[in-house]
A and B are shown apart, each in its own frame.
Chain A
């Protein structure tokens, strides 16, 4: 299993912490699924200190914490948010999001590369939320990123892998780089699909948090990524157009 900036993850499921019906359900989803990475964010603290109880709960899970720069639209905003996150969460890891388009939440890859370079130079370990574009991926690696996180589909859309061809090409182009499909997953079969392509992990949130039973869906997602990984390692057969009998023809009784 590939390492993420020197860290070996316990399993390939990275799970978001937003939009759950309650903190208790969020906690149970992590405990029952065993997801090893939790994405988190920074938001304005209310006078009641709501962030503090969330922080204590996340810490009690004993998972790796991956803060994001969700909602940032400029390099400056993202870099400042990353610095705040490093102090609050006490980690060099940052899921770098630079949103470029309001409807699709497509990353602004030009600003992404620039911010990735600034943050890497500043000692951060950047997990860039990017598209499947190979040249952008190259630029991110040149900027110092050691992980790439292409989208499967727009955030929260649940569409699965919109562009399997490109994701496959990315895997082939960067065989040594840890690759994560981030966003767009709706079903365990989508998560398995990403792993079957040889991806190293899957990051998802909405598909679990907004399911009727988030705890059960979190478990299903874990089974999905595990099945996909096993399948990839097991060297699957190639698809073919025509049938090929699986039962031996030799020795069949002559009955006609």
Chain B
């Protein structure tokens, strides 16, 4: 299906959020949101993706 991952359109095989993380090569400390709503790590396995979902994957960065 087609989703938007961190602002970039992308065709993916994954059907859940946790599968998407593996498919897209993310690991370690990240947080996720789908369609502008936070999805806690504990719910990623059960969070089904839908066509057109906007997924954000963020990680620790420098900040002031």
Given known pairs A80-B33, A87-B41, the reply for A16 and B63 (CB within 8 Å) is yes
Residue in A19, A47, A54, A83 whose beta carbon sits within 8 Å of that of B60 in the complex: A54
Shortest distance from the beta carbon of A65 to any chain B beta carbon, whole Å: 9
- A19-B64, A55-B28 given; A49·B59 CB < 8 A: yes
Which of B27, B33, B59 counts the most A-chain CB atoms under 10 A from its CB? B59
Tally of B interface residues using CB under 8 Å: 26
From B63, which residue of chain A is reached at the shortest CB distance? A41
A18 touches B31 (CB 8 A): no
B56 CB-CB contact with A under 8 Å: yes
Contacts of A205 in B (CB 8 A): 64
List residues of chain B with CB within 8 A of the CB of A109.
none
Cα distance, A38 to B59, chains bound together (Å):
16
Q: Smallest CB–CB gap between A227 and chain B, Å? A: 23
By the criterion CB–CB under 8 Å, are A70 and B63 in contact? yes
In the complex, what residues of B have CB within 8 A of residue A47's CB? 24-26
Q: C-beta contact mask, A46-70 vs B, less than 8 Å → 1, else 0?
A: 0101111011001000000001101
Confirm or deny: B1 has a beta carbon within 8 angstroms of a beta carbon on chain A.
Answer: no
Given A51-B28, A51-B30, A80-B38: A155 touches B64 (CB 8 Å cut-off): yes
Residues of A within 8 A of B62 (CB): 16-20, 26, 40-41, 54
**Complex CA–CA separation, A83 to B33 (angstroms):** 10
- CB of B60 within 8 A of CB of A58, answer yes
Whether B29 contacts A51 by the Cβ 8 Å rule is: yes
Instruction: Chain A residues near B27: list those with CB within 8 A.
Output: 49, 52
Complex Cα gap A44–B30 (Å): 9
* Interface pair B30/A80, CB less than 8 Å apart: no
Contact A42 B60 (CB under 8 A): yes
| Bound CA–CA A205/B62 (angstroms) | 10
Contact with B along A1-40 (1 / 0, CB 8 A): 0000000000000001111100000100000000000011
User: How many residues belonging to A are interface residues under a CB distance threshold of 8 Å?
Assistant: 36
| Given contact pairs A51-B30, A52-B28, A80-B33, A88 touches B63 in the complex (Cβ within 8 A) | no
Given contacts A43-B58, A54-B61, A206-B64, contact A84 B38 (CB under 8 A): yes
Q: How far is the CB of B2 from chain A (nearest CB, A)?
A: 19
Report the minimal beta-carbon distance from B5 to chain A, rounded to whole angstroms. Answer: 9
**Chain A: CB-nearest residue to B5:** A44
Closest CB in chain B relative to A117 CB, distance in Å: 18
Contact A88 B30 (CB under 8 A): yes
In the complex the two chains form, is A68's CB within 8 Å of B29's CB? Answer: no
Asked if B41 contacts A40 (CB within 8 A), the reply is no
> What is the bound-complex CA distance between A115 and B56, given in angstroms?
21
Q: Which residues of A contact B38 (CB under 8 A)?
A: 80, 83-84
List B residues at the A interface (Cβ < 8 Å). Answer: 6-7, 24-33, 36-38, 40-41, 56-64
Query: 7 smallest A-B Cβ distances: which pairs?
Result: A51-B59, A41-B63, A16-B64, A205-B64, A84-B31, A45-B59, A43-B61
